[in-house]
Chains A and B, each alone.
Chain A
């Protein structure tokens, strides 16, 4: 038993070297990137938070949400409306954005968690579109299809570089919180629900309750992502809440690998950077993206990170045998 633990510890140190490397790279990135690519990097970080929140539901709890962008958009709209209409403080607006997303998440989740599989997915899609249409049509209150412009962060966050570091901190904190949750007894419970919900219920777990808690956590993180993105982009539009936007974390998770914590982050980085690069020479970006997804689904069913992990494990096994 002790031997097993020791092995786990040493591989933990070995495993984290690339994380440290990535952290250093992300700290010095603004020195090397043009403002355009720094903006792309910011977007990748924020969208990665959305992807991580989605994957808590999809990869860990095993339910496909097709309405995750609704919470992202709600977080963004809450910040935009509070800051422009009642001149609310920036920080408090972000807190309010998270709260709004969580409360709506609680209401939507209340209905969705009673269902599983495709019915869960369709109901999240329906609620997502419902929220989108309310925002889109309620012109007097939300600005309708014009969206809301002129949302500014505090003075010291106005430079893209400073805002980038702010986003990085929030991203790292969110990722850390999600990481802790996934490895906690609560996380073990939702993974067990994914693996066999009947068995788990017959161990004394109220499935709907745990699904609802997970749903609200995911909505809160998505709301936080929207809330911190809008002041950087200075505007918000109804397109943030559409099911097309909700499809992005789905694709990112499949691309990067939903079975690994950082899979959706890798997927979202690839998508965001690829997007801005491909757009430079063709407007048919969805075609390119579609082809990429096809290749991954057929040849790398565990996603790109899943594939890398598998190769590393195979090499380790060969080394162990020798």
Chain B
């Protein structure tokens, strides 16, 4: 190029002038930004619904971006939210480890950050909303106790299958279960991890059943593992309800189907809609600089109650 082409010059001029273009006057309503993990999943669709309805009811605009299960998209899309003048950020992070740049950028703009589930990645967020996982484990223990009491089963042996050790919140489910079931006079004969996966849940349950044929209940830290365990029980010619009572955690569709089909006993349902509602309540308090009441002040956690789902409830949930 011997001489700068005119097009390039024009382009550069336009680029330079663009920032000067007059912006449209700011809307009267305050905006709450919600950056969602991935709208492909029913759990997050419910969470988004709860968030949006609560935000609109409280007189806010709710602006959504989708991270599409990518940490790079998580950071760039959330940055897009922060750049458009939101007053509070709610985020269910795909990768809590990549929350650093988001929280730093929000703090620089003095925007409060409310994390919805998954994890805080050790960042300086304002509050994190999670299911009451430990209570969920306790509810499961109470339920198993009441079911087994109705049967004249001699054994008081139960087992516990947990998610991967790095899933700290999920680990509380099994911790809560194991602590309470021991208080109720049971023996936890096995406490193993199946890495949140269905096929590993199957394998671990098989091992448990061959080592302890008289085990009467298994609590699993999530539903895929519970469904896997139920298959293992069925493969050994037993019932996941009558012989070895299986309880999962989450309220996933596969577990609801398995409960309906009589393959497993119950699940502890997380209520993402309520979690979404809670994040908006907390965000609006933070916007007014009100003090928050934490369930666990050390990690700025707020818990949302979970629900027991048995065969009596599933048909309503599956519609």
Is B a genuine binding partner of A? no
Residues of A with Cβ closer than 8 Å to B?
A: none
